[in-house]
Structure 1
Amino acid sequence: MPNRYIGGKLVRRRYFGDREIKARYLGNQLVWSASGIRDDFNRDDAPTLGAGWVDHGPASTYKAGVVNGMCRLAVPDGLLALALITSRQRCVIDTLDRDDGYIEFRVGSQGSGPSITGDLCRTTVFGRVSNAAFTHGVGIGVDSSTIRLVRRVAGSESVVENFGAFSAGDVIRHRFQGDLHTVYRNGKFVGEWDDDEQTAARGAGFRSLGVVVMASKDLLGPRRFGPALDYVEMG
């Protein structure tokens, strides 16, 4: 999605009367968004996400990439087997200029069920990611059946709330304001978490967007992926 400028100044906000316009569409195609931190993955297939992202491992031959216009772990077909692997990527297009905001994404595919060994591939979109690393963040994880609020602290992740089911095509939004985290599916409220003990980091050093994708392959069986991402946005 191209940015819009007036002269050399990037257009960040538009209004209809006194009401702020969040996005503009031509049919189902987004043509402008108030958020400058967004990736639609609408480019050629690639084994990485490209220049707008920094890899934070863990070290692996395969990383998050672009597959059929979506983000997922770029594991090729034809492997004999592959143990569960994870790829963490931090967006470096920009950072928020404030603590409060939101992350949003559209689920591009449902994702696979558990492997024959019980491993389950998950996909997580984090806001408030540490700007120079991927040690902290708070966001939404989706697996083959459930929306989960996930907190990452000092490199360790934990699920703090579950918010029910989702389907491919659903738009998930996580709004964070102070210590209150509110989650919506297709614009409808599904739940919230009050981080009253302030366990999730925030502040000037924690204003990045990040994604985590997982994949595996059963021995002589199918590849398995966490849900693909059609787009991600933070604003």
Structure 2
Amino acid sequence: MLITLMKKGYYLVLITIIIVLSVRALLKCEQPIDRLLLLTGFLVVGYNAFLFLIYVSSFSEADALRVASYWRYNMHMGGIVIAASGVVAVLAWHRFFSGETRWEKMAWIPIILLVASPFAFAKNMRFDLVPIIVRCRYVGSDLSNYMGQVSIYFVLDPEGSGEVYNITAYEMDGLGKANVYLAAYHKIDRRMLESAVSANRLTHILIHSVNPMIENFFQVNLSKDSSQLLKKTKNS
């Protein structure tokens, strides 16, 4: 969980500051802001403790080890974290910078940054234009030319986290049925692949990424830069 949070540096810094301030407020509650910090700190810590319990007790081993959707769940705390951080920032500003003429003359800078940011970070905001997402959407919409509604397939993505599978499945719009999905957080070995390939009524294998073991298992030339669809025949 901590590793996942460390990948979201700004959020981790914010909740760390809030938790530290909430501990201080618990020991010495003097102002209205202290009550807000106490509420926020207890919510963040309590919610994450609840998530830890759920991962250990209710999730599968694979999902628990990769703390599935942990960042998405933490977004539930986003509103109160932003509110508490905003109040703290305003109070800190009034305490340390208010009344200084040099700072008042720079009040227009935040406005310019807010207006310019959407244009400056347009590429980051348009995540739908990321090459891998574009590719998967195209693959998902094109599979209707090669698969039928009754097709049963398994998805192989040893380098992926699950995002590719979900995007492709969305574009497939109910086409076929995926009976197995193997990704980076699964321990993929030859025995597991043999079991997946020999599944009853399996018709296709959708491969989004490859590694040496996958290439050796299928004994075909697989591209590392594209998705591939293999069709199972009676003799395969």
Which structure's residues are more often strand, by fraction?
Answer: 1
TM-score with structure 1 length normalisation?
0.22
Higher relative contact order structure (alpha carbons within 8 Å, sequence separation ≥ 6) = 1
Higher helix share: 2
